[in-house]
Amino acid sequence: MIATMHVPFVDLRAQHAPISGDLDRAIRDVVARGDFILGAAVERFEAEYAAFIGTRHAIGVGTGLSALELALRAFGVGAGDEVITAANTFIATVLAITAVGARPVLVDMDPATYTIDPDALAAAINSRTRAIIPVHLYGQPVDLDAVLAVARRHGLVVIEDAAQAHGARYKERRAGSFGHAAAFSFYPSKNLGAFGDGGMITTDDDLAAGKLRLLHNYGQRAKYHHAIAGTNSRLDTLQAAVLRVKLPHLDGWNAARRRHADAYTARLAHRVQTPTSLAGIEHVYHLYVIETAQRDAVQQRLRERQIDTLIHYPVPAHLQEVSAPLGYKAGDFPATEAAAARILSLPMYAELTEAQIDYVVDALADAPR
Ligand SMILES: Cc1ncc(COP(=O)(O)O)c(C=O)c1O
């Protein structure tokens, strides 16, 4: 009998311990300055994040959902428009589309990569289609050459959902630098996570950036002078200060995630379906997702061994209760639906130890197949 060991799904305390002095100083500095709303750390972090992603602009916002919604609004997407995205995404992608008054049109994924199927995308385009939101799901950039070619052919706006792909690369450039704009989430467990909610929009478009600066701050051009019907969605100064401390570590953390993913894959590929990472793509493994026919039994066995796992996502977007008005039904997206019944996300974070990986691999070797 092997001794049990708890393997959490993510371990933020392990991430924060080695940088706790820097984090404490950054927070104390904001408290001392008192510039809690749109303070100095926000401006600095926006400049640093834009440089990191490789875009002219980065605009901090309150959440990843808000980043998607405001990016659509900045490019004039709204009522009467259709926006295409993948059925296998977190619901925020779909809710952002409905929030601007547009209609979400969902399509199936490529079963090899879990990202939008470019042929299905092309087939869903009609005269009402205004935009597409490719989702770099699990940390793997979509087939951007194919998606951008379709978008160019039809004159569509492309908003990348990069909420799970901070730092990922597609042919040398970072995800988030390809579309008209991209949306990031700094939800605490993301590859780059805040101490609460936060989000960012990156773009090269000067006009859109100007509009986003109005949109996220009450449409305010000068204090108490409101040009457009904006909203309140600002990245907190405290969160920006935390994120400034973390950003220089991100590439190292992502490299560690890739090493852990390679270790899992080398030892699990003969038992379960392991993730595929395409040539020319730098996957950042926000999630390490396996597939197995006995998913529920495997998850139960791992739970008994104190290994935490999750399913991303058990119910595809088109079959969610909230999507009923869109009129989709079971069977519409076979690849997405087949995966939803088989996928399982294993513990994945930079600080995962070799002993923990061994323990997870051993537990899977014992699991039903
Ligand atoms: C793919 C995807 N899109 C959008 C979001 C929304 O981000 P947030 O939770 O910060 O609103 C998330 C994360 O939660 C996500 O995983």
Which residues 6+ apart lie within 8 Å of 29 measured at CB?
41, 241
Tell me, what's the pLDDT at 2? 60
For ligand 1, pick from 89, 115, 164, 286 the residue to mutate: most ligand atoms within 8 Å of CB: 164
* 38 in Cβ contact with 237 (< 8 Å): yes
Query: What's the pLDDT at 142?
Result: 97
Q: Which residues contact 200 (CB under 8 A, 6 or more apart)?
A: 46, 49, 58, 59, 60, 61, 67, 183, 184, 186, 235
Please choose from 90, 133, 234, 313 the residue to mutate so as to test ligand 1's pocket, defined by most ligand atoms within 8 A of CB.
90
- Ligand 1 centroid distance, CA of 100 (Å): 17
Q: How far is the CA of 58 from the centre of ligand 1 (A)?
A: 17
Residues having CB closer than 6 A to ligand 1 are 63-65, 89-90, 92-93, 135, 161, 163-164, 185, 187, 197, 199
d(CA 101, CA 37): 29
Cβ neighbours for 310, distance < 8 A, ≥ 6 positions apart:
9, 345
Provide the pLDDT for residue 145.
97
- Pair type for strands 220-222 and 281-282: unpaired
Cα of 267 vs centre of ligand 1, distance in Å, is: 30
Q: Which residues of the chain have pLDDT under 50?
A: none
Q: Which of 348, 161, 338, 321 is nearest to 258 (CA)?
A: 348
Atom of ligand 1 nearest to the CA of 199: 10
Would you state the pLDDT for residue 149? 98
Q: What is the pLDDT of residue 369?
A: 83
Angle (CA) 256-336-289 rounded to 5° is 20
Span 287-302, pLDDT tens digits: 999 999 999 999 999 9
From atom 10 of ligand 1, which residue's Cα is the shortest distance away? 64
Residue nearest to ligand 1 atom 8, measured at CA? 64
Whether omega for the bond prior to residue 285 falls within 30 degrees of 0, making it cis, is: no
Q: From ligand 1's centre to the CA of 362, what distance in Å?
A: 32
Whole-model pTM: value is 0.98
User: Which of 88, 58, 61, 94 has its CA nearest to residue 205?
Assistant: 58
Q: How far is the CA of 163 from the centre of ligand 1 (A)?
A: 5
In b/e form, how buried is each residue of 27-50, taking b as 16+ CB within 10 angstroms? beebeeeeeeebbebbeebbebbb
Residue 8, C-beta contacts closer than 8 angstroms, at least 6 positions apart: 308, 347
So what's the pLDDT on residue 77? 98
Among left, alpha and beta (phi > 0; psi -120 to 50; other), residue 114 is left
> Which of 187, 190, 284, 286 has most ligand 1 atoms within 8 Å of CB, for mutation?
187
Q: How far, in Å, from the CA of 193 to the mean position of ligand 1?
A: 12
Nearest to 336, CA basis, from 96, 107, 93, 84: 107
Residue pair 176/204 in contact by the 8 Å Cβ criterion: no
Cα of 290 vs centre of ligand 1, distance in Å, is 21
